Amino acid sequence: MVDIAMQPNAPGDRLIEARDLVKTYRMGGGTDEATEVHALQGVSVAIGRGEFVAIMGASGSGKSTLMNILGCLDQPTSGSYTLAGEGVERLGADALASIRNRRIGFVFQQFNLLPRTSAVENVALPLVYAGVGPKERELRALASLAKVGLAERAQHTPAELSGGQQQRVAIARALVNDPQMILADEPTGALDTHTSEEVMRLLTALNDDGITVILVTHEHDVAAWARRRIVFRDGRIVEDVRQEPVRGELA
């Protein structure tokens, strides 16, 4: 196991610091019959502010479990997790939801857009949950769409947009609360090669602007856009390397 908590980031530069994360699920019937599944086995990781990290691994390797914990969607069985200096591993559901809304933008393989709702209304949804007023919601959502090059499509529904445009709407939604990091889970998985490159260029540009990007993928050509690659196997980190990111066409 590679302990990447010891990567050369000064503590003040760390957005994420997780130590000895264990996640165990009990599968099956009653207590005597249940089988324990060890999704994470003592994982430690530090990620600096402004990094672009790709997390790779086969299905069941632990990469998605880690992402759920880093995104405050799940909690570890044991271990500690600090996000932007705030210990979050034992917070309640409401506190975790508040952190997600303030600090994290999510992008998924399936765009998760409301089908009968315009692009600008889809982007504004996190602001509704944050209690932002209607006028400010619209202004901020339009500004977020402009960042991803879709200002002119603000009133279009998902059915009127291409797959790549729908993913850009999803990215705009992830940006609307001005998050410190974006967690992207297989963001190009439903896209063709050309459109995948457009999405990766957009994520790269956002990272260049200072947003931390953590990308979960099983595709090596997608991971090649990151500046750091972490590989999981059987709930453990087996590789953690810095790399020179590509800036060209996906293979």
Residue 2: predicted pLDDT: 40
Residue 89: predicted pLDDT: 84
Per-residue pLDDT tens over the stretch 107-153 = 998 999 999 999 999 999 999 988 899 999 999 999 999 999 999 99
Do residues 175 and 99 lie in contact, with contact meaning Cβ atoms separated by under 8 Å? no
Q: Is pTM, for the whole model, over 0.85?
A: yes
Task: Report residue 27's pLDDT band, with 50, 70 and 90 as the boundaries.
Answer: confident
Task: Give dist(CA 135, CA 151) in Å, integer.
Answer: 17
Task: Give dist(CA 16, CA 247) in Å, integer.
Answer: 26
pLDDT tops 70 at residue 204? yes
Each domain of the chain, given as residue ranges in start order, spans: 14-242
14-242: which CATH architecture? 3-Layer(aba) Sandwich (3.40)
* Phi, psi values for residue 83, rounded to 5°: -120, 120
Per-residue pLDDT tens over the stretch 82-108 = 999 999 988 899 999 989 988 999 999
Task: Give dist(CA 182, CA 88) in Å, integer.
Answer: 17
Max Cα–Cα distance, the chain, nearest Å: 59
Question: Nearest CA to 218 among 188, 239, 191?
Answer: 188
